[in-house]
Structure 1
């Protein structure tokens, strides 16, 4: 079969399935991606042919601010459609087109490949209530946001109509989409390679001239970018309380200074610098380690020595890192928000705290540091959850392959509740 993957940051959510399909005899796999995002990236598989495009123009200055994202999506969709036509002329006719519709790349692909089966990755549908918008009183929404968000979903709605089928990684993320489309969207997580992402009682990490091991009191916090959507501001304001309870603890903070979601700061400012300045001398910075973004293996090693791993998120997309932390057997302390509560059961495979409850968060961290033996069963159950529900090899990848290949006709179902 011929498969076409479309993602501006390929492989995005598709590395495992693209690699697996490319390794199967008789399959041809082509990907479309934005050139600047993949030009220096290692190939997913030697048999995956990546075609790139340049997107040099977004929305115009005079465009109404409600539809700037949509204009950019249309322009990107046009660019990708032109590249897809070239691919078609070269003789490649996909049986299956798999894409992430958020940036508009898939808008016109059904017109280019009308006989293909089109499957979209539906990650998140924005709503004015019940999700990220208006969740944090520090960043309140206004009535204009309700109107803007309704228009913001234009690209998604067009993609929902055009897709033959869809994928969403969690039940909660699927539930955010209009109910009339649920029958199109199968819940399949991308999966975690739990055989590789596993606990290591002998792990040791060199950090700022010292060696951290499992026997040390290490608190870890992780986000691709350190920003409020992932609770960075709450964590930073909890640091004085954590250090008061456990002055010997080492605090390891992994993540970049950009903004993946939410409001951007003025040029040159970062949330890390903002909240560090706010904390000032209330924090013993000699025991706080900002690593920035780190290579994957080092990230795993840092979590392997973690005594308490903190994961906070708005009601939004669930991070891969939380499932990976569970696969590593971390003592997980996470926000009691809907995407997390789908996976974490209080006291069973993690500890849940109110997103805004700094006292509760600090108390949970202190207890995990002071009573590590009591958390071993919870650590083990966290790993069991990752293996049973999210293992790449035994569960998620086989299910994804069946779904994309059309072998799993029962995959189109509605999930209630």
Structure 2
């Protein structure tokens, strides 16, 4: 059957599901602005839609997000019309609605059931927003109104969503009660055959030459920013370097912003917190801090295999693949004690949990694990066991996702509400 995927950064969360469906013989097409021309990736036909934004009138700041999503939705709608006119008739549509693109697909194919990747529903309290007092809302008394408008796309999508899928219980639970019955919880999946421990691993990259005999401490963000605790880690770095004089600190992440607000104009979060702590760190210690930027995936996996302690900090927010890949690699992990992390890590069993804001406690746990090989081994083995048992791609997650697609195929399409 014909299956359509829609994702601003395709394949994104569908990197396993879409190729799997194509391999089964389905005609799988993806609409995405990530490519400039029609191309094929792992059996999936990737077709671009082009976003054209002319000079627009000034809009209220609370509507900028909705305005951007409407432009994307309209551009995707035009591309979908062309696909329909070429004879493409999807029996199933699967989309990530976070950028608004899928808002009008039911106006093109009203009979096609729509399955949505339900990443997160925003709340002014109890989630990432308002979590960190260092970055308060500009107008706290107006946050409920701003977030209500930010969720407008979520609500409009709910009117046409036939089924949803969410990777964790925490993320699914963020949605309103009337939406939850439509949402299946199934993680995207970790390929535990590829992501696994290697006692003989050697990491050679950018002048580094490290093995498991070295004391390696790793910290990973997609982009180095407060939402993933970069400021907390950096402020703890002077003490960490003093207490672990042989440790090599590997920091992975870009200079941009994935979540939350951008850094002050003309600055990056990365450099701001380097500048804040640099005078407290002697040059000899600073030489042991390595900012690797964004690294190739094979290098990333070797880094997880070589690490002695892996640090993962986050607001109560979307759970990173990197945490679960570190667990699958049998890394000993120190992580922030927030709801999404506690869903996969139990303190003292599969890792060590600390208060997100307590940099001293974080350093204490890192030092403890760095000294205790037996504890590291026990935590790492238990962490991998949990990932294999509950999040393995081949045996757990892909079968669930395929079952969800079949359920979606049998659903009765909900028409757009006039």
TM-score, normalized by the shorter chain, greater than 0.5: yes
- What does the per-residue CA deviation read over 1:133-172, in whole Å, with 9 as the maximum and x for residues that have no partner? 1100110122222211111000011111210000111001
- What does the per-residue CA deviation read over 1:345-404, in whole Å, with 9 as the maximum and x for residues that have no partner? 111001000000111000000011111222211100000111111100001011101111
Equivalent-residue separation in structure 2 for 1:266 and 1:127 (angstroms): 24
Secondary structure, counterpart of 1:277 in structure 2 = helix
Query: How many angstroms does 1:67 deviate by?
Result: 1.1
The two structures have a TM-score, normalised by structure 1, of 0.94
- What does the per-residue CA deviation read over 1:81-107, in whole Å, with 9 as the maximum and x for residues that have no partner? 111111111111000000011111110
Contact 1:9 1:38 in 2 (8 A): no
- What does the per-residue CA deviation read over 1:51-106, in whole Å, with 9 as the maximum and x for residues that have no partner? 10111328945111111111111121111111111111111100000001111111
Secondary structure, counterpart of 1:38 in structure 2 = coil
Secondary structure, counterpart of 2:191 in structure 1 = coil
Equivalent-residue separation in structure 2 for 1:135 and 1:259 (angstroms): 18
Q: 2:93 maps to what in 1?
A: 97
Q: 1:375 maps to what in 2?
A: 376
- The number of residues matched between the two structures is 406
Contact 1:257 1:272 in 2 (8 A): yes
Does 1:242 pair with 2:243? Answer: no
Contact 2:252 2:294 in 1 (8 A): yes
Q: For the structure 1 residues 327 and 58, does the alpha-carbon distance in structure 2 shift closer, same or farther, using more than 3 Å as the test?
A: farther
Secondary structure, counterpart of 2:13 in structure 1 = coil
Q: 2:416 maps to what in 1?
A: none
Contact 1:10 1:38 in 2 (8 A): no
Does 1:120 pair with 2:107? Answer: no
Structure 1, gaps ≥5 residues long: 411-417
Equivalent-residue separation in structure 2 for 1:218 and 1:225 (angstroms): 21
Q: 1:173 maps to what in 2?
A: 171
Contact 2:39 2:47 in 1 (8 A): no
C-alpha RMSD over aligned residues: 1.8
Does 1:136 pair with 2:132? Answer: yes
Secondary structure, counterpart of 1:333 in structure 2 = strand
Contact 1:402 1:408 in 2 (8 A): no
Equivalent-residue separation in structure 2 for 1:270 and 1:405 (angstroms): 45
Q: For the structure 1 residues 149 and 58, does the alpha-carbon distance in structure 2 shift closer, same or farther, using more than 3 Å as the test?
A: farther
Secondary structure, counterpart of 1:81 in structure 2 = helix
The two structures have a TM-score, normalised by structure 2, of 0.94
Q: For the structure 1 residues 42 and 292, does the alpha-carbon distance in structure 2 shift closer, same or farther, using more than 3 Å as the test?
A: farther
Structure 2, gaps ≥5 residues long: 412-418
